[in-house]
Amino acid sequence: MKIRVTSVLLALAAVGGAAAAQPVLMSPEWAQAACEAWNRDAVLTDKLVESGWVKNDKGRGYKVMQVFRTDCGASPTAEMRIALKDGKAQCVYGGKVETVQLDGGADYVMSATTARWLEMGRGEYGPMRAMMFGRLEFSGPKMEAMGNMGPFENFLLLVGKVPGSTQACPAT
């Protein structure tokens, strides 16, 4: 009996530890994991080079993408930087928001409610529908984004692929 109770307690502790280790959705820790997932996605790393998207960095060497959950506040809580590296559009930084001065001709800010981010992450609808119906707020070079809907959709799907807790808001 003592062995069985100990096994159950160890199993519960392992499950609790795994849940506790999950970063908060749209937090700097989540952005770091999203950055790693980006680099494993061939559509993002290859198609954004083919289209020229990654090269529009205004001479800075990277593009900035900032994201946040609107039901958690009104400003970005996570940042990703994408750069041309080894012939790929690679995420070279995922973490806290560090870029204060964004360039509207190259950089992006995206926001939605937690529920909408989760819907987009599950692939319930793509970026075009999300923007048309106001489910995704978006600022940045719109024509550039329109020409990259396939990769843009893959970015939104990262929300469903990268585990993130929605029980709390990211710390600011």
Is 166 contained in some domain?
A: no
Over residues 111-122, the pLDDT tens digits come to: 999 999 999 999
Q: Which of 103, 79, 104 is nearest to 92 (CA)?
A: 79
Mean pLDDT of 125-132: 91
What predicted TM-score, i.e. pTM, was given to this entire model? 0.87
Q: What one-letter code names the amino acid at 28?
A: P
**In percent, how much of the chain has pLDDT > 90?**
85
In the chain, which residue ranges form alpha helices assigned H by DSSP?
Answer: 2-21, 28-38, 42, 48-50, 114-121, 127-132, 142-146, 149-161
> Residues with Cβ < 8 Å from 53, sequence gap 6 or more?
63, 89, 144, 147, 148, 151
Mean pLDDT of 112-140: 95
CATH number at residue 65: 3.30.1050.10
DSSP letter at 94 equals E
Note whether 162 and 34 are within 8 A (CB): yes
Is 116 contained in some domain?
A: yes
Which residue range forms the structural domain that includes residue 28? 21-161
Over residues 59-104, the pLDDT tens digits come to: 999 999 999 999 999 999 999 999 999 999 999 999 999 999 999 9
| Structural domain count, the chain | 1
pLDDT score recorded for residue 12: 40
pLDDT score recorded for residue 172: 76
